[in-house]
Amino acid sequence: MAKVSVGLRGWRFDEADIFDEAGEFKPLDDIPEDQRKRLIRLSYLVEEPCDACYLVHGEADKKRCNQATIVYGEPGDELLLCDRHEPHFLYWFREEGGDELAGEEEFRDEFHLWFADGGRAPEDYVGMEYVETDPDELPTPPDANELHQRLNENFEGRRIEIIPKEEREAMRQESQAVDTDDLDLDTEYPTK
């Protein structure tokens, strides 16, 4: 079974999980949950800037940031990088202990701290070599709005009662039964 990246390199999907026999994207309901979450998250990320560029240029000069081409990490705690900054990440991950944080919440933040503190790969550091095989043969993924619309159409929300109804009612009655005659609401608090 072939693995493919969609939108950004990094997260890889089994072709059979996301494409039908005609080579088109399957309906979201037919895609395994983990893969579906990643595809939906990608729809938000494909036009975002590189995290490292953003650390260098900041919000004020965001136009100078490269668009991300690579995603690492887990959905919601992912790290976005451009081709220029990927070697720095790989160096941090392979040589500076970043691999120990894989799957952890602080994964992205620790890379940001290392990079912002001047952490960089040596100039001769070799990153990754990618082999692109017929990228034009892949179907065009649904755009972000289409993915969100499909998700919302198929979502059948339900209310989850955390506290049983009887307990909620008893709590409500207790709170109404509080005797406020003994409360001192005129207490003065110290000020500076």
Which of 84, 97, 72 has the alpha carbon at shortest distance from 125?
84
Rounded Cα distance between 187 and 123, Å, is 67
Phi-psi label, residue 103: left if phi above 0, alpha if psi -120 to 50, beta otherwise: left
> What pLDDT score was predicted for residue 24?
86
> What pLDDT score was predicted for residue 29?
86
> What pLDDT score was predicted for residue 90?
93
> What pLDDT score was predicted for residue 2?
81
Strand partners, 160: none
Contact 52, 60 (CB under 8 A): no
Diameter over CA atoms, the chain: 79
pTM of the predicted model as reported, rounded to 2 decimal places = 0.66
> What pLDDT score was predicted for residue 6?
86
Contact 150, 142 (CB under 8 A): yes
> What pLDDT score was predicted for residue 13?
92
> What pLDDT score was predicted for residue 190?
64
- Local structure of residue 80 (DSSP, 8 states): E
Rounded Cα distance between 130 and 1, Å, is 18
Contact 107, 97 (CB under 8 A): no
One digit per residue, the tens of pLDDT, for the chain of length 192 reads 688 888 899 899 999 999 888 888 888 889 999 999 998 899 889 889 999 999 999 888 888 999 999 999 998 889 999 999 999 999 999 999 999 999 888 999 999 999 999 999 998 887 666 455 555 555 555 555 666 565 555 545 444 455 666 777 777 777 666 565 665 656 565 665
Rounded Cα distance between 176 and 27, Å, is 51
- Please state the domain extents for the chain: 3-153
> What pLDDT score was predicted for residue 122?
92
Which of 73, 68, 41 has the alpha carbon at shortest distance from 147?
41
